[in-house]
């Protein structure tokens, strides 16, 4: 019988020995060498990132600084003497609920350094947001977008491996601490390889497809995307999150976003399942029903 054919064997630590359950006592400990150089035993000097975290900002609406606007999708014609654009017909019914809160932006230096032709595509994406934003179809969000969507995510951290589970769409990433080599296949969430630099968890994410966006404003990338994430524990309740974004096909230089992440403090805080697939079946398949529903 044939084997399950795999690109390469998985690298597993001999013992995924205990978690870096770092008590508050050890947080201040000096961290030296990288994870790779450490034995795979308990590592009480590493920061403990376990918990449920969430961004609290407007980045998922638009990474760049932006004023409030009436809707994500706006009419292209503006027939009246309005001070703000009128929402496009499909989203008018949402009223203020469908509007976009303004935000000071999370991009270092303010704007994203698009190549000229890529900027044209970004603007086109934004105009066609309803048809193109993968979030509308409940598609996997990619990185870094998963981090700052308006849903919490949970980190499960052991010394040799780590898992991030995002409430949105149940998206999940596993972070390997041994370099498994080049990603065998493009994926929505990419291949994540982690290391520790002092108190900071650094994750190199590569192997993306070109299907995910950065926000609801049409900011996009190609399959050459390389994201370098940095998670630094500021206090027990705060992480600082940075993501350096490189994609020479779309941007003229690497650029960076920065934002704090906050621990969900509720007693018994818990991710609640958000399998949005069923929520979008009418949108995706409604016209293929035997009896399409009346509007």
Q: Is 295 a binder of another protein (CB under 8 A)?
A: no
Of the candidates 184, 198, 248, 254, which one interacts with another protein according to CB under 8 A?
A: 184
Of 25-33, 77-85, 100-108, 172-180, which segment contacts another protein by CB under 8 A? 172-180
Which DSSP symbol is given to 49?
Answer: -
Distance CA 75, CA 277 (A): 28
Instruction: Judge whether 239 and 213 are in contact, CB under 8 Å.
Output: no
Q: Which x/- pattern over 271-290 shows residues binding another protein (rule: CB under 8 A)?
A: xxx-x-xx--x--xx--xxx
Q: Which x/- pattern over 5-44 shows residues binding another protein (rule: CB under 8 A)?
A: xxxxxxxxx-xxxxx-x-------------------xx-x
Instruction: Judge whether 169 and 185 are in contact, CB under 8 Å.
Output: no
Of the candidates 59, 63, 71, 189, which one interacts with another protein according to CB under 8 A?
A: 189
Instruction: Judge whether 69 and 37 are in contact, CB under 8 Å.
Output: no
Interaction with another protein in 129-168: which residues (CB under 8 A)? 138-140, 154, 156-158, 160-163, 165
DSSP sequence for 91-108: GGGGGGGG-B--B---BT
Q: Is 253 a binder of another protein (CB under 8 A)?
A: no
- Which among 133, 164, 253, 142 is positioned nearest to 208, based on CA atoms? 142
Instruction: Judge whether 54 and 148 are in contact, CB under 8 Å.
Output: no
Q: Is 112 a binder of another protein (CB under 8 A)?
A: no
Instruction: Judge whether 149 and 173 are in contact, CB under 8 Å.
Output: no
Q: Compute the least distance from the CB of residue 48 to another protein, in Å.
A: 9
Question: Which tokens sit at 270?
Answer: 């818990």
Residue 3 or 83 with smaller CB distance to another protein = 3
Instruction: Judge whether 160 and 17 are in contact, CB under 8 Å.
Output: yes
Contact footprint for another protein (CB under 8 A): 1-13, 15-19, 21, 41-42, 44, 50, 138-140, 154, 156-158, 160-163, 165, 169-170, 172, 174, 180, 184-185, 187-189, 211, 268, 270-273, 275, 277-278, 281, 284-285, 288-291
């Amino acid at each position: 019988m044939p084997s399950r054919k795999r690109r390469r064997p998985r690298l597993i630590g001999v013992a995924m020995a205990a978690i870096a359950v770092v008590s508050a006592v050890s947080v201040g400990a000096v961290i030296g060498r990288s994870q790779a150089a450490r034995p795979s035993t308990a590592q009480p000097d590493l920061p403990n990132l376990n918990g449920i975290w969430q961004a609290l900002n407007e980045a998922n609406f638009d990474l760049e600084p932006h004023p409030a606007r009436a809707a994500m999708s706006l009419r292209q014609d503006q027939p009246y003497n309005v001070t703000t654009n009128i929402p496009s017909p499909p989203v008018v019914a949402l009223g203020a609920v469908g509007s976009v809160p303004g935000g000071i932006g999370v991009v270092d230096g303010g704007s994203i350094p698009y190549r000229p032709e890529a900027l044209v595509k970004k603007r086109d994406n934004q105009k066609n947001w309803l048809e193109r934003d993968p979030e509308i179809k409940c598609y996997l969000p990619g990185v870094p977008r998963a981090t700052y969507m308006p849903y919490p995510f949970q980190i499960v951290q052991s010394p040799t491996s780590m898992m991030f589970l995002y409430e949105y769409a149940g998206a999940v990433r596993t972070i390997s601490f041994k370099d498994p080599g080049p990603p065998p296949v493009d994926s929505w969430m990419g291949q994540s390889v982690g290391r520790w630099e002092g108190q900071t968890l650094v994750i190199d994410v590569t192997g993306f497809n070109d299907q995910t966006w950065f926000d609801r404003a049409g900011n996009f990338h190609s399959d050459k995307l390389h994201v370098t994430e940095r998670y630094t524990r500021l206090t027990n309740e705060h992480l600082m999150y940075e993501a350096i974004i490189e994609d020479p096909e779309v941007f003229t230089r690497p650029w960076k976003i920065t934002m704090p992440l906050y621990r969900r403090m509720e007693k018994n805080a818990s991710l609640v399942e958000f399998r949005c697939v069923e929520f979008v079946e009418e949108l995706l398949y409604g016209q293929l029903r035997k009896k399409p529903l009346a509007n």
